Amino acid sequence: MSSFNETQRSSLGSHDRKLRYRALLEDLSTLESENSFNEDLMDKTASAVREAQTLLAEGGVEERVKHPGEGYLDSKVLRVASDVAVRVTESISGNVNTYDKHELAFHIRENPNFWCFALPREVPSVAFLYGTFAPTPPELRPRAPRRAVQRQQAQTLKAPENVDKLGKVEEGSQMVSRVNRFITKTYKQTNAPLSYFHTVLDPTSFSATIENIYYVSFLVRDTLISINLDEEFGLPFITPIPASKEKRDIGDENQFIVSMDRQRWQELIEAFGITQPMMVLKR
Amino acid sequence: MSQRKVNKSRDTRPDVSELEPAIKECVRYILCREGGKIPIKRGDINKHLNTVCQTPQNQVSAIIVEANKVLKKVYGYELLEVAANAGKQYIVILSQECKSILPPIIDEHQRKLLIAALMHIFMSGAPVKEEDMYKFLTDAGLLEENDHASRKLLTTTFTRQMYLEYSKVKVTESNVTRCEFTWGQRAEHEVSKLFLLNKMAEAFGKTPDHWCEQYKEATRET
């Protein structure tokens, strides 16, 4: 009794499944005749195949043995589905393959001027028929200063004169160091500051006096000597600065020069009673 | 004082007579800048109008609207705002399709390169890889082996003019970047795809629907 019931139920289930298989088949065949888009086709086919699969799982192995018709219908659904898939694939590859880039490239190579045109909504550029106004005058302007620069360079190349002058300066600095040596020597001998005017004044020559003033001013500038006003007489006296003494102690005042003309020179010589030049240098 | 002016222009119709010189200057500026085909920045228009006409910032929008009217009426141009990274940018296109001759100042070789590139991208139906593009152009006799100047035209000039878009794409598996060309915004507006397809049909003696997918794409936009 129970086995009869089971058989009846299974045959009922099988019948139901067969009906659903048939419905799937019907759907798929109408799909084929419809002219819908590829994507729709693929979606519908996929869902049909999925349903067939669930139907198969519902039955189980035993059921399939009992009702071979189900297996037949299942395979038929798969077959139709694969047919649809093939058709869809063909249409895709067919669509894309109509464009052959080599063909187009060849055509462009052969007819380059065919492929040179204005674009439909392209704004035609506003331009002058013969280009812009001739820009020649502005071009000339930068050229002129360039030439001037070249000339200047040529002038600076005349160097030899400077070399002569350099030699003269050399001579001068030699004299300065001679004066320095004289002052330090005399200072060591007497161990007292030297009177500035006695040192520089030369009663035999006004120009030698001027030169002495000049050399001494250099020594002051180089902080080799210092000149201080004597408190008792109010007259300038020279003191050499030892080399060891640090220069920053000396302070900022490193200039000393006196103005001198012939009249003043004469007056000073008489005032100091100088008859002989104190400093005799080889000229 | 300026506050009152603005209010007045908002209440009634825009007081065009007052802005007339600035509108004219704006039209002139756009006409001059357009030749370069490089998008005109909103900031540049602001700056120019400010220096030439002392136009306050808040009136520039109204001036651009008016200038666009003049451009359309007199020249048949249309000012089009395009998407940009920062600020607003404009390109100028014709308000309707028009068959025109190629302006003499455009270099023919450049134009051939541009058309071939746009054509190839459109017909391929997908972004075109850089190497593929160069190979195609070489096949078409437009690009020499080591012609880096022409390549630069594609990657820089046409890209700046917004005819092409040149973008780096990361390939996920191999972690290698490759570059692709697609249509730029200007191309999308200036060139109708059907126009290109008709050229294609003319060249190969076929009907445009011979290229089924491209035909669909081209007719969809109209």
**A181 has pLDDT over 80:** yes
The residue of chain A nearest to residue B119, with distances taken between CA atoms, is A104
B140 inside 8 A of chain A by CB: yes
Determine the distance from the C-alpha atom of residue A185 to the mean position of all C-alpha atoms in its chain, rounded to a whole number. 63
Q: What does the alpha-carbon distance between residue B23 and residue B21 come to, in Å, rounded to a whole number?
A: 5
State the pLDDT confidence band at B113, using cuts at 50, 70 and 90. very high
**Mean pLDDT of chain A, nearest integer:** 76
Between A89-93, A119-123, B139-143, B205-209, the lowest mean confidence (pLDDT) is in A89-93
Please give the mean pLDDT across all residues of chain B. Answer: 85
Residue B69 has pLDDT above 90, yes or no: yes
Nearest Cα residue in chain B from A111 = B203
Mean pLDDT, range B127-145, rounded to an integer: 90
Mean pLDDT computed over B73-95: 89
pLDDT of residue A276: 82
- Range from A18-27, B89-98, B127-136, B148-157 carrying the lowest mean pLDDT: A18-27
Of the partner residues B35, B93, B120, the one whose CB lies closest to the CB of residue A125: B35
Angle at B143 between CA B141 and CA B144, to 5 degrees: 100
- H helices present in B103-192, as ranges: 108-124, 130-139, 148-152, 158-160, 185-190
Q: For A191-227, how does the pLDDT look when each residue is reduced to its tens digit (9 = 90+)? A: 888 888 888 888 888 888 888 888 888 888 888 888 8
Nearest to A108 among B103, B141, B191 (CB): B141
**Candidates B92, B98, B211; nearest CB to A98:** B211
Question: Of B134, B109, B104, which Cα lies nearest the Cα of B35?
Answer: B104
Q: Environment class of residue A265 by beta-carbon count within 10 Å: exposed (0-12), middle (13-18) or buried (19+)? A: middle
For residues A22 and A73, is the Cβ–Cβ distance under 8 A? yes
Q: Name the least confident of B22-26, B147-151, B170-174.
A: B170-174
Residue A241 is predicted with a pLDDT of: 81
A31 in the Ramachandran plot: left (φ > 0), alpha (ψ -120 to 50) or beta? alpha
Closest-CA distance of chain A to residue B205, Å: 12
Residue type, B196: L
Contacts of A121 in chain B (CB under 8 A): 93-94, 96-98, 189-192
Residue B4, pLDDT > 50, answer: no
How many Å apart are CA A113 and CA A121, to the nearest integer? 20
Q: Name B169's bridge partners.
A: B178
CB contact B84 to A (< 8 Å) = no
pLDDT digits (tens, 9 = 90+) for A45-90: 888 888 888 877 777 777 777 778 888 888 888 888 888 787 777 6
What pLDDT shows up at residue A38? 67
Residue B3 has pLDDT above 70, yes or no: no
For the cut 70, the answer to whether the pLDDT of residue A283 exceeds it is no
- Look at residue A184 and tell me whether its pLDDT is greater than 70: yes
pLDDT digits (tens, 9 = 90+) for A131-170: 666 555 555 555 555 555 555 555 556 555 555 555 555 5
Of chain B, the percentage scoring pLDDT greater than 90 comes to: 47
Q: Which one of A119, A126, A128, A129 would you mutate to disrupt binding with B, by most B Cβ within 10 Å of its Cβ?
A: A119
Taken in order B130, A115, B200, A101, the sign of the CA dihedral is negative
ipTM of the complex: 0.79
Say if the Cβ atoms of B139 and A102 lie within 8 Å.
yes
Q: A205 Cβ partners below 8 Å, 6+ apart?
A: A277
Residues listed for chain B: 222
Using DSSP's 3-state secondary structure scheme, residue B197 falls into helix
